A = this chain, B = another copy of it.
């Protein structure tokens, strides 16, 4: 097992594409998406709907150095569109495939 940073981002469905473009730009390959999420924050209640104004939950496991790039890339998006980004420590079970 190797230590990694676990980054958990909640943003609006419609922003997902932009965020993934950012991840590509900084060379982050792996991420997991949980669509159809809802929630509440400064911008009120959000839930999955016809307009696609619900949330998605994005989980990224990466090295500390990459995590810093991710955070810097994500921060302006969060500033502009809202959402949250939580960072914690985890151990990645290596399966050397």
Residues of A bordering B, CB below 8 Å: 1, 4, 6, 8, 10, 29-42, 47-48, 55, 57, 59, 61, 71, 74-76, 78-80, 82, 84-93, 95-97
Do the beta carbons of B92 and A90 come within 8 Å of each other? Answer: no
Query: Copies per complex?
Result: 3
Do the beta carbons of B75 and A85 come within 8 Å of each other? Answer: no
Across the interface, which residues of B come within 8 angstroms of A80, CB to CB?
A: 97
> 25 pairs across A/B with beta carbons < 8 Å?
A1-B71, A6-B88, A29-B40, A30-B39, A32-B39, A32-B84, A33-B39, A33-B47, A34-B36, A35-B38, A35-B48, A57-B59, A71-B93, A75-B93, A76-B95, A78-B93, A79-B97, A80-B97, A84-B92, A84-B93, A85-B92, A85-B93, A85-B95, A87-B91, A88-B91
Tell me the nearest residue of chain B to A86, going by C-beta: B90
**A23 → B minimal CB distance (Å):** 9
- 18 more CB-based (< 8 A) A-B contacts, given A8-B90, A32-B55, A85-B95: A1-B87, A6-B86, A6-B88, A10-B32, A30-B42, A31-B40, A33-B37, A33-B39, A34-B57, A35-B48, A36-B36, A61-B84, A61-B86, A75-B95, A82-B97, A87-B93, A88-B90, A88-B91
